[in-house]
Amino acid sequence: MNNSGFWRSPLDPERVMNTRVTRWQESVQEQREEYLTVEEPCEVRLGGRSLAVIMRTPGHDHELALGFLLTEGIIQGAEDVLEVRTACDSDGLPLANVVEVTLRAELMEDVAARTFRRNFAVSSSCGLCGKDSIADVFCTSEPLPPDNLHIPASRLYGLPVLLRAAQAVFTHTGGLHAAGLFSTQGELVLLREDVGRHNAVDKLIGHGLLQGTLPYSRFILLVSGRTSFEIIQKAVRARIPCIAAISAPSSLAVELAEQSGITLIGFLRARTMNVYSHPERIEHF
């Protein structure tokens, strides 16, 4: 235990901590242990220079760094990245919570001119904290082209149950968002949990960069909370044609989804859903 009263949980010491709380039920109180989701800063460096500090849940940090670089438009694809690794100190020892990314040499000069002046500091609740102006938040990616993707409504109805069942850390802490990548057959292909919604999505996208499975043009993205503008922006970069959420979208999310050719679904629960844009991809049972 440290001086603050927290200690690493044997359940998942990287992502879960324990603490003591006073629990009240009606007029009765008791002392008990509870699980907490870990939130820590992760520094992303390019060529030895600090680019961003992202508040996140530890785990899959290389994916997070690459997903962040792609969805921020700093890189265009895996071909721009020469190496991603845990940074080391002057003695060659690994630095906790620091990821070093090496880009193609010819890209670095342009990236430095466009990027290092921005001083990113990304909280777990904000996916747009490094932007200089309103114009910067609009995605420069081309809209998704028309496709022949058709998804039965019955398959969509089953996705929230599969996502919730796979959320191991959330089960214990109740403090994590989830992003799940599903096939059009309704199979959960990949899950990432994080204290930040946008971080979970970046980790999914970063995984695709590392594994060479991008673009995600035949997959469904399901997020556990609401859908805000930056989630759509990230999906456009990853070429995801369908996004579903347990809760509501924002007005700007709906607008961008419509403009970008993305099918956006909200309130996917208990065999009901609202389809806000491009409903042509959803078909009857």
Q: Which residues are designated catalytic? A: 126
| Residue ranges with strand state E in 26-109 | 28-37, 40-46, 49-56, 81-88, 94-103
Crossing angle (nearest 10°) for helices 197-211 and 229-238: 10
Return all residues near 185 (Cβ < 8 A) that are at least 6 apart: 155
The half-sphere exposure of 259 on its side-chain side, counting CA atoms within 13 A, is 14
Q: Is the distance from CB of 84 to CB of 100 less than 8 angstroms?
A: yes
Max CA-CA distance within the chain?
A: 67
Q: Is the distance from CB of 114 to CB of 107 less than 8 angstroms?
A: no
Q: Is 192 helix (H, G, I), strand (E, B) or coil?
A: strand
| Residue ranges with strand state E in 112-258 | 120-122, 151-152, 177-183, 188-194, 219-223, 242-245
Distance between CA atoms of 273 and 270, rounded to whole angstroms?
A: 8
Calculated CA dihedral for residues 236, 130, 50, 233, nearest 10 degrees:
-10
